[in-house]
Structure 1
């Protein structure tokens, strides 16, 4: 959330350069919201941010919600239920507790990764298939076509990474696309499957697969890999492997970019595991940490140089840096403890879930009111946290 000054730091004017995307020739004067990965921790942190964005009247103004991994769970639930929200004349929705908070907290009260891994190793069904089945408790038989009409609501883009092409795969109501293969209009992929692919973190939860019909592709979008098996089956891994903040589509199209980052801070290990599985995970954590740091640096540089408007808040942020006298209290020792929540799809006590939601609420409030207050209809400070437990 704070923006450190460093005159010697390299400035990167165009951090994202993938050839195929729905890239606009000029930036749209709209708002994009990016929801990062980070397991249940990020999923709940984003819930708190969305609650505050709704109170500030910004949620209704958002044109695009781009998500990866744990952020895609939250985005998927919000998108599936968007049409059921009732917005008042101030752009504030009622029903957020019932339609977003309660289903997310129910999921966070269940461990799904350990059981999926054990069953996936023991039986023929893959781990990712088991995870997708668990997500059906949230999404049922809803598909990408159950996301809201993009002419009157935000476009929800769920991102995954292709293990085959190394590219970002975007899944929305309008399209499913890999620029090296092509684009399918109005895909009927199950939301549980799309979110499962977006959150298929390697090595244990990856890969996920989506079966395709080559005849469904728009011939005018065929890429250099429009051929079997690429146009018959997508083999996917966590969206955060390619873009762990969900920035790609947002950056290329919108003038205002808001980023909610629930990714944890990598901790030092004196004796890293030597077995291949856990050592591989540690290596992936190192890579993720470096890529996340680079993306964040590029994003903050774009704010400084006025290439983009917007703001960033993270689970590791320090709201004291915003110099907002009426910010909700967020002592460093308490926020550091929340940020240390493991990146898992593992049951969390209700009290801890509430703390994470409260922190997402407070962090987003401080960032929005100090950096993009012109977008806010009423910038009055929140009187309290959503939950009385606060951050402690």
Structure 2
């Protein structure tokens, strides 16, 4: 089942935000994340807040678009009541789950709710995630006509045995078809890959990379498989049915990906993300990594506005009940102090190719940079210019780098 929500303060029923969120709001972008929590099959490695049809307990997929639109309207009222400046959404991202299990008209309706409530900025980036077996040419064309600009396909692997190990149900031969349909519709294309699945070899991973690059996506994400507690994969590993992912093999796979992507003209801009052009970078995810504001719509969705973070109730039925009662669907929230926000900036911005300003660090953190340069984990040139940028070895050890940059109690 999906992982537990964080423990924090109760969220107010009216959703009202403290006055502190206004500080610096003019310099922050506003995005919307719409979490569509439905899946046909739950993948063994996944601990996202998703539900198959037999887990809905009376909630109905057909009602979801209207419920999400209600929360978007609620969000606009809360943002206005907080005295925040009017900011049209610069990015909208539909994730899940599998958003494209809903009819295209439902997704377009939800996007229209954002447009009606706060507006869309000129050139807004509007993305949906999709499984290759959950879309067709007509549906992708309808999304493009309705205002979507980008689709992110969960390719994961081109090797059937690896897909089976991940409990993925699509035929890898379908991926070129859906990419072609998306391009015909005028959508930018991102492909998501996962490496380090049980039984996957370096040659398997090379095959997947080559298959993905042959499609010339605008953007590619490559994530090391992480075994999350409570998942079917964790249970299989604990029982000895399959082996735990090997860190050294995953490091070799990352280096292979970085080499192959660089050769093909892709530049890394975050540890697990590459783009063919700067304007193909995921602006929505960059807003997460650089401290922007976003409102998360849907069951279990997380939001952040001006240092206040909250998250919605998890189950679609509970979410629907809150909205029907006219109260916030938030289950809990926390207000981050300046020290915590500073730690988060270091954690996130060190992962970016643009780097993190050295002046975010205290004296001990700045002193640690020389040792990180000597160890080959931080690029010397940018550091001397005032930014911490990871080398490739540093990217592989990003968490260890951060621990050396932050105070021990952080």
Larger RCO of the pair (alpha carbons < 8 Å, separation 6+)? 1
Q: TM-score, normalization: structure 1?
A: 0.30
Pick the structure with greater CA Rg. Answer: 2
Q: TM-score, normalization: structure 2?
A: 0.29
